[in-house]
Structure 1
Amino acid sequence: MNRIDRLSAILIQLQGKKVVRAAEIAERFDISLRTVYRDVRALQEAGVPVGAEAGTGYYLVEGYHLPPVMFSREEAAALLTGEKLMANLSDHSNRKEFSNAMQKIKAVLRGSEKDFLESLEDNIAVVSRRRPVAEEFPNRFLSDIQYSLGKQQILQLDYFALHNETLTKRDVEPIGIIFMSGYWYLIAWCRLRHGYRNFRMDRIKNVSVSAETYDRTRHITLREYIDKYGEYDTPLFEVKVRFPAALSRRIGEQKFHYGLVEERTVGECTEMTFMAPCLEWFGRWLLTWGAAPEIVAPLELMEKMQLLATEIKQHYLDPRSHS
């Protein structure tokens, strides 16, 4: 990148944030701090009102705005790809907002770039294997959660926990959102459980943003949470089960809902590997397939299945259980 292009890009970066540290600029353009200081001085000499706070960073003086930004063909294609990803991997609220933003972006593109995007439109696809969200879970709260994060306001959730299939009310202090294993999760301090928890967003039945605020500095950062707890705040069990080939076809998309991470052909069977947060929850699903599945591991799941089978047997042997 030549210097003129870099100065323009630095100016756009300054307009995008309230304060930008010199180290951020240096990292983005792979230049030294000395070069950053020279570039900022060049912008100031050109009449751009760049202010500086010692030990903090640079900022544009209030009231200064760049003319409308023009996008290159490559940038426009990247934005189109982002729109395709958002349409499949986000919730209803963010999908709508991103679509509105893309309409505004397309409105300022040159005619040749608009034609270029139209030619790409039908040739980019994102295929998601996620199961559709049940109607009772609206899956439209990502924008509200982002708002509460930005404003540091308490969220009140109606949350359905899969492991015990119960709906509870939670007041939480959000620390971040992450996308993993095909789902969005809210990471937050739960006042009910007095600890950090992750909440799968497609299991949230309702959300309201409270007027009450919280102090984010009292909590660990999202990065610290991920480093400390990994992807989950409860241990996962690696489960291996072999299904007859005909049955594995009938299972269809259900396997993704129960944590499928790998499948391979073993003789006339399909061996599936799952990462399950709760063996009882997984075992109750496995019971629906009768005696056909063969449990390879772990031994604890076999013991759990024996208990569940005994429970069902006793239920139907005892006439009083039907009264």
Structure 2
Amino acid sequence: MVAGRIHRLLKLIALLQSGRVYNSTQLASECDVSRRTVFRDLRTLQESGIYVLYDEDKQGYTLPWRTIVPFKDLTFEEVLALLVLCQDLDKTIVGLPVHQFARSASTKVLNSLPDSLRENVIDAAQSISIWFPPFNPTMRNGMHYKNLFKATIEKKNVRIQYACGKEQKTVSTMLSPYHIVYANHEWFVIGRSSLDRGIKVFSLLKILKSEILEESFKRPSRFNLDRY
């Protein structure tokens, strides 16, 4: 099996486990292959013991989380560290939009483990705690974070309005969000601004309005986060 096909099969699995139902045409478009190739890849997954389900109502394919157990080779110590870190984040960080995702992810990992390992990890976790310095990152509007997080992952342009300068003048620009970074208790988005015709850093606290657009972008290979 060539490397290209392995990469395509992994992408197919990721799409099917995303929670969205895809039909064969959509899968073909996402993987940049024909529908015939998609059907062949689905058959390969079935033959490998990965049972893709077909939803009659939605006319598409999906792959339940527990169909694959990707974490079975994790050691006891690895799972315990992951669980303790993610669970204790929830107790000390208030307002950080990613902490709930870390907690839910650790729960999914835990639920995918063999029963004996899962029970041992849960029992051991009751005896370990990590105390992080408590802090409360400021967020003006969680919706802007969600929009920019989604747009960054999906590589979609965003129309934003933000407060600019000492006068707090409202300015509008189309942003191609390349990266989201959390620093000094604050969120920033870095990307190309149509108004500035170059890469700029925006504080999410300054963003007053955000709207995800249909237009996609491609992040330049020369982009380097360390420059910003």
Please report the TM-score for the alignment, with normalisation by the length of structure 1: 0.42
Query: Aligned match of 1:133 in 133, 138, 146?
Result: 138
Structure 1 segment 145-164 matched on structure 2, within 5 A: 145-161=148-164, 163-164=166-167
Structure 1 segment 108-123 matched on structure 2, within 5 A: 108-109=112-113, 110-120=118-128, 123=129
Q: Distance in 1 between matches of 2:99 and 2:134?
A: 15
Q: Is the 8 A contact 1:158 1:206 kept in 2?
A: yes
Within the alignment, does 1:170 sit opposite 2:173 as a pair?
yes
Q: Distance in 1 between matches of 2:126 and 2:144?
A: 31
Structure 1 segment 253-272 matched on structure 2, within 5 A: none
Letter in 1 for 2:123: D
Query: Aligned match of 2:194 in 191, 212, 215?
Result: 191
Letter in 1 for 2:226: I
CA RMSD in angstroms comes to 3.5
Name the counterpart of 2:210: 207
Q: Is the 8 A contact 1:76 1:117 kept in 2?
A: no
Q: Distance in 1 between matches of 2:187 and 2:165?
A: 15
Which has more radius of gyration? 1
Deviation at 1:196, TM superposition (A): 1.3
Deviation at 1:101, TM superposition (A): 2.3
Q: Is the 8 A contact 1:156 1:210 kept in 2?
A: yes
Structure scoring higher RCO (CA < 8 A, sep ≥ 6) equals: 2
Name the counterpart of 1:241: none
Q: Is the 8 A contact 1:89 1:182 kept in 2?
A: no
Name the counterpart of 1:226: 226
- Residue 78 to residue 166, structure 1, CA distance change in 2 (3 Å): farther
Deviation at 1:195, TM superposition (A): 2.1
Name the counterpart of 2:78: 75
Q: Is the 8 A contact 2:148 2:158 kept in 1?
A: yes
Q: Distance in 2 between matches of 1:208 and 1:161?
A: 18
Number of residue pairs the alignment of both structures matches? 166
Please report the TM-score for the alignment, with normalisation by the length of structure 2: 0.57
Deviation at 1:150, TM superposition (A): 3.0
Q: Following superposition, which runs of at least 4 residues in structure 1 exceed 6 angstroms of deviation?
A: none
Uncovered stretches (5+) of structure 1, i.e. residues with no partner: 1-13, 20-60, 232-323
SS, match of residue 119 in structure 1: coil
SS, match of residue 132 in structure 2: coil
- Residue 75 to residue 164, structure 1, CA distance change in 2 (3 Å): farther
- Residue 155 to residue 101, structure 1, CA distance change in 2 (3 Å): same
Uncovered stretches (5+) of structure 2, i.e. residues with no partner: 1-6, 13-40, 51-66
Q: Distance in 1 between matches of 2:9 and 2:205?
A: 31
Deviation at 1:18, TM superposition (A): 4.2
- Residue 204 to residue 119, structure 1, CA distance change in 2 (3 Å): farther
Letter in 2 for 1:179: Y
SS, match of residue 216 in structure 1: coil
- Residue 200 to residue 84, structure 1, CA distance change in 2 (3 Å): farther
Q: Is the 8 A contact 2:159 2:211 kept in 1?
A: yes
Q: Distance in 2 between matches of 1:73 and 1:158?
A: 48
> Percent of aligned positions with the same letter in both sequences?
16
- Residue 98 to residue 187, structure 1, CA distance change in 2 (3 Å): same
- Residue 102 to residue 160, structure 1, CA distance change in 2 (3 Å): farther
Q: Is the 8 A contact 1:153 1:210 kept in 2?
A: yes
Q: Distance in 2 between matches of 1:129 and 1:102?
A: 22
Q: Distance in 2 between matches of 1:150 and 1:129?
A: 26
